[in-house]
Amino acid sequence: MEIFTSWPSWAHAQGPLSAALPEPTVRDLCEAVTFAGRRHGVQQRPTGRPYLEHLLEALEVAVSGAGLVDRDVLVAIVLHDVLEDTSCTEAEIARRFGLEVAALVRWVTRPRGGAKADYLASLVRAPQGAVLVKLSDRVSNVQELQRMPWRFQRRYYMETVAYVMPLAGAHPWYAKWFSEWRGRWRRVERWPA
């Protein structure tokens, strides 16, 4: 199972992105990373690492792992948490990055006050671009699940198996990655709830 943690900053990501993608896409990704960095500011992941690392990991998953090249999907991956975790609006994303990116980000944004299970279940109706954003996000989140407390590990594992892995079925690279991941984490199913 490949782990995607080699792009902790834009400086690390820029070279591989330039080798894999057209220059206009790389420019748009640079703008999106700068925008997300400003929006997320000093936010950290639950592990204490800068939040921007998660966004770059998800981008690395998409480009280096799954081989995605679609500009809108890749930009949405970088911006996927700005509606949920910052004061950014969908209109602002649409103005800066286009209506399609804004729509993809909206699809993967959990509604405020909504149940997480309902939100995850709704993704079966999402456009494939939004599914790819969510899959890349979740690979980043679960690839080092061992860094989290065991109760979180079990809940997140079960949630991933129930809601996210079925979404991967139509996307062979993600399906294979999640299958390998589940094989390594299956012991969690035996842990007490």
In a 3-state reduction of DSSP, which class is residue 2?
Answer: coil
CA trace torsion 81, 100, 114, 164 (10° rounding): -80
- pTM for this one? 0.94
Domain borders along the chain are: 10-190
The sign one gets for the Cα dihedral 127, 120, 60, 74 is positive
Chosen CATH of 10-190 out of 3.20.20.80, 2.50.20.10, 3.90.550.10, 1.10.3210.10: 1.10.3210.10
pLDDT (tens digit per residue) in 112-164: 888 899 999 999 999 999 999 999 999 999 998 888 888 888 889 999 999 99
189 carries an active-site annotation: no
Select which of 85, 90, 100, 144 is catalytic.
85
Rounded-to-integer distance, Cα 63 and Cα 78, Å: 12
pLDDT (tens digit per residue) in 48-86: 889 999 999 999 999 999 999 999 999 999 999 999 999
Select which of 84, 118, 180, 189 is catalytic.
84
31 carries an active-site annotation: no
